[in-house]
Amino acid sequence: IIGFGSIGQGVLPLLLRHIEMRPGQITVITAEPRGHEEAVEYGIEFIEAGLTRENYRAVLEPRLGRGDFLLNVSVDVSSVALIELCRERGALYLDTCIEPWPGGYTDPNLPPAARSNYALRESALALRPKQPGQNGGPTAIITHGANPGLVSHFVKQALIDVARDADPAVAVPGDRGGWGRLAQRLGVKAIHIAERDTQVSTIPKAPGEFVNTWSIDGFYSEGSQPAELGWGTHERHLPADGRRHDFGSQAAIYLLRPGAGTRVRSWTPLEGPYLGFLITHGESISIADYLTLQDGERVVYRPTCHYAYHPCDDAVLSLHELAGKNWHLQTRKRLMMEEIVEGIDELGVLLLGPEKGVYWYGSRLSIAEARRVAPHNNATSLQVTAPVLAGIIWAIENPQRGIVEPEELDFDRILEICRPYLGDVVGVWGDWTPLQDRGRLFPEDLDRQDPWQFKNIRVV
């Protein structure tokens, strides 16, 4: 296990519960002393050593052999470098996002396109064999946490639910093209990863402190990247600050502003309408790409896809303070865990465009339920660690699949493993649109012909 923050610590008891192995078979390598007490509690080896471009091979090669598994839940350790090493050593691999070496997210000398998740994804997919049918080597699952990861399986289940609401006999698509055709037939124009975290603690946020329910460093890194979204074929208004890439799949665009400073309108069943942050995430690109339909070289269908994240209230205050300091991270960081007293993480996908209305499918996990079913977790971390566990099990069951994204895994198998850890997993119809109550107090520049235009969803 590379990295031992909230996700590493949270997944450890799940691994020992579900996978037949001894604690002595697990080694943690991490740059910080955090988590040492838990390692001692479970009897696993704990090595405090930061991995760098210069030392990662020397540290890992003696410990990594054929049939081993490398779980990368670190920050600032290159996913591409680790995938290449695992391929050489015959080891399986999983990460929760595609990490660059330090500076890859925040180096002001790099142009925004180079700091994008789009570019990171292309660099990872470039490791795949060039010839179709060639063995891709040991399974390496990229971006398989909550989101990216779990939400891709939610999208498939949501599409099936919407289809079967009209025709219970609809079959599950058997391939990528089948999923794209189903989304097109259902009229899905956009997909939001719609999340509202209401967890609160006994300790209020202090000035100069960044507070969050999961990795502060991870949130800061992705919030500092350009806002990114899969760009749908129905879109008529490219934002003035929107840019297309000159390489790769062309499934996404980016904005010339950070995700932590970009807000969008969305909806969840419990919260109702809300404003969330358009934080860049791998699933915004991979889901849009996976559902793309082409006629030769011409793209005929693709949904817009992006994150709409309302973190816990103290994290919103932290982001507001961060923006005020021109994106210089606060000196103190606090991960909310034991001090959380109540709240849930409502994490799901929102399908926009079906004739009947919007459809949200996802997990409502309370802090009380998370503590009941898994030690060393809060509601947010457990929605990540459960799919990490599921991805590891899937890789063990499918050990020679090469580099795979969440959309390429068996969604029903992943959900089967995750479901006991996700609280209430529900699908809910709604009648929300981003045009509701708009222009009531002031005039707005809206596209009233099509409510699902990104122009109507972005907050300006």
Q: What sign does the dihedral 353-356-362-363 (CA atoms) show?
A: positive
Instruction: Please name each of the domains of the chain with its CATH number.
Output: 6-141 (3.40.50.720), 150-380+411-459 (3.30.360.30)
CA dihedral 38, 39, 42, 44 (to 10 degrees): 170
Give the separation between CA 87 and CA 77, rounded to whole angstroms: 17
Amino acid at 193: I
3-class DSSP string for the chain: CECCCHHHHHHHHHHHHHCCCCHHHCEEEECCCCCHHHHHHHCCEEEECCCCCCCHHHHHHHHCCCCCEEEECCCCCCHHHHHHHHHHHCCEEEECCCCCCCCCCCCCCCCHHHHCHHHHHHHHHCCCCCCCCCCCCCCEECCCECCCEHHHHHHHHHHHHHHHHHCCCCCCCCCHHHHHHHHHHCCCCEEEEEEEECCEECCCCCCCEEEECCCHHHHHHHHHCEEEEECCCCCCCCCCCEEECCCCCCCEEEEEEEHHHCEEEEEECCCEEEEEECCCCHHHHHHHHHCCEEECCEEEECCEEEEEEECCHHHHHHHHHHHHCCCCCCCEEEECCCCEEECEEEEEEEEECCCCCEEEEEEEEEHHHHHHHCCCCCHHHHHHHHHHHHHHHHHHHCCCCCEECHHHCCHHHHHHHHHHHCCEEEEEEECCCCCCCCCCCCCCCCCCCCCCCHHHHEEC
pLDDT band for position 134 (cuts 50, 70, 90): confident
pLDDT score at 106:
81
The candidate with the shortest Cα–Cα distance to 180, out of 136, 222, 230, is: 230
**CA angle, 150 then 359 then 408, to 5°:** 30
pLDDT band for position 294 (cuts 50, 70, 90): very high
What mean pLDDT is predicted for residues 133-156? 95
Asked if pLDDT for residue 235 goes beyond 80, the answer is yes
pLDDT band for position 107 (cuts 50, 70, 90): confident
Asked if pLDDT for residue 19 goes beyond 80, the answer is yes
pLDDT of 239-292, one tens digit each?
Answer: 999 999 999 999 999 999 999 999 999 999 999 999 999 999 999 999 999 999
The model's pTM: 0.97
pLDDT score at 133:
72
- DSSP lists the bridge partners of residue 195 as 309, 347
Give the separation between CA 180 and CA 172, rounded to whole angstroms: 12
Give the separation between CA 422 and CA 214, rounded to whole angstroms: 16
Give the separation between CA 369 and CA 381, rounded to whole angstroms: 12
pLDDT of 40-78, one tens digit each?
Answer: 999 999 999 999 999 999 999 999 999 999 999 999 999
pLDDT of 311-320, one tens digit each?
Answer: 999 999 999 9
Asked if pLDDT for residue 365 goes beyond 80, the answer is yes
pLDDT score at 131:
75
pLDDT of 172-223, one tens digit each?
Answer: 999 999 999 999 999 999 999 999 999 999 999 999 999 999 999 999 999 9
